[in-house]
Amino acid sequence: MRKVIMSMAVLSFCCSGPTIAQQSKLSGPEMPQRLISADFTRMEGKFNTMFNECVGAGRANEGLRADWQQQLAYVRKECGFKYIRMHGLLSDDMAVYQEDKNGKPVYNFMYIDVLFDFLHSIGMKPFVELGFMPSGLASGSKTIFWWRGNVTPPRDYEKWGALVRNLALHFTERYGADEVKTWYFEVWNEPNLDGFWAGTQQDYFKLYTYSAKAIKSVNPAYRVGGPATAGAAWEPEMIEYCHRNNVPLDFISTHSYGVKQGYLDEFGNSGTVLDKNPMSVSGDVIQSRREIAHSPMPGLELHYTEWSSSYTPADPLHDSYHEASYVLQKLKQVGKAANSMSYWVFTDIFEEPGPRFTPFHGGFGMLTIQGINKPVFYAYKFMNQLGDMELKNSDSSSWLCRDSAGNMQALIWDFTNTHPGDSVHNQKYYIRDLPAKPKGKLKVRVENVPAGMYSLELYRVGYKCNDAYSTYLSLGRPAQLSSRQVEAIKSLNDGSPILKEIVEIRNGAPFVKDWEIRENDVFLLNLIKL
């Protein structure tokens, strides 16, 4: 028999600021109140989970590392990601292609097999990015990043097409056509940027044509698309080209980031500024969907195969508690406009500028190299805990859901862009200790919750609560972390609930809960039927 404790509060040690019990003393009549109201019986429909369809990773060769694999298995389990996309599948460090003394291609897919077999073992699928160019097939020597991905067109497009065809045949033989039909094949990465593609737009369309026809020659049901551009570029041109030339196209893919000032700044030297436009990123996605809808191919899927607040792996915004609420705000704004939004990336084991020397360096990842959860990790974990049915809710910064067991979840956040503006770079602003200002009282009221006893759990991410970077600052920002320091940071930011209690809901009475909210706080409320 379950023992019922009517009022048991458990406060996580990591979370500073007022406790739930103290908050009423701080809330005066001058403080605003935000009311989130819903009805347990009124459904919006099936909850849209495009947010965890796919996640990014740096490059394929990093996926052969034990720590990378351990972190991906953890993120898959906690956040529910289904697909993963990465660069460099065909680069030289994957040992895919060479030619014999007579110029005959020699293929080797052993490293890819190790990687994809691991993905299969943890229940994930590849979103296959076809790139970069094997040096044995490249028309030039131009490369990008520390690991020297070759970005030149093939010197022989027929040989490129044969490589892609043989790769698709190999996948079919190893995993079966029914499985590969569920994958996506994306041609290249950001060909509209000179750093990533040493050819023209027409050269890219030629590369795409050979790639798409090679894949479809193995199985017409395999899915192929592009142009995988930066900044939502080339979408109408891509659709028009494929439509006019009868080239297969199953989806549009592109990228968007929420900062201003250029691209391809892997060292963060030029500085970035978080865009003050409230529809940055999400506005691009909505526009992409609009362009597809008004094109000759209106039924195409839309995949944002890279997105984040910033496009440099040296932006402290990625480490900040602000990132969690930023991500939630953008995903809520996107709604159903995209089939997937692939966060770039899941881990700081990411070596575009080379191996990193400090534990918190503004890396793209949800986890640090040492496996410390950043605030954005919890945003994705919380979304993954929402039930499969969404309740009707007019609030623009929350989701209320329920599941088949009769449990209810509410994910609520405040996104406040506190960045001071163009005069200050992210690299100077987000490395600071940035206390969050109070935003008033938050009240959740849900009608028609079935009567009974429930366990209520409240989780929080925000300033000094599941905010590993602030803990790191409190340690004096050491250049290296000892194993004891790593464990301490993990322990103080482990995602434990800030409140647990047993509540009774009586017939005809609504469920009501209120508490204080600060700038960029994120809360997950779980109401579990006993």
Catalytic residue positions, numbered: 190, 306
Q: Which amino acid is at 430?
A: Y
Full DSSP string of 96-136:
-EEE-TTS-EEE--HHHHHHHHHHHHTT-EEEEEE----TT
| 213 token code pair | 């026809």
| 74 token code pair | 């953890």
| 495 token code pair | 């995602």
Q: Which phi and psi (to 5°) does residue 523 adopt?
A: -125, 140
Whole-number CA gyration radius for the chain: 24
HSE value, Cβ hemisphere, 13 Å, CA-based, for 508: 0
Question: How many helices (H) and strands (E) are present in the chain, helices listed first?
Answer: 13, 24
CB atoms within 10 A of CB 4: 11
Burial (Cβ within 10 Å: 0-12, 13-18, ≥19) of residue 213: middle
Alpha helices in 176-281 (DSSP H): 177-180, 201-218, 235-245
- Report the run of H or E that residue 468 belongs to, with start and end: helix 468-474
Give the Cα separation of 336 and 285 in Å (integer): 10
Residue 313: closest CA among 102, 65, 56: 56
Residues 6+ apart with CB under 8 A from 382: 411, 459, 461, 522, 524
Residues 6+ apart with CB under 8 A from 363: 313, 314, 318, 319, 348, 350, 356, 369
Residue 174: closest CA among 129, 225, 115: 115
Reading phi first (left if > 0) and then psi (alpha if -120 to 50, else beta), residue 17 is in left
Three-state secondary-structure class, residue 198? coil
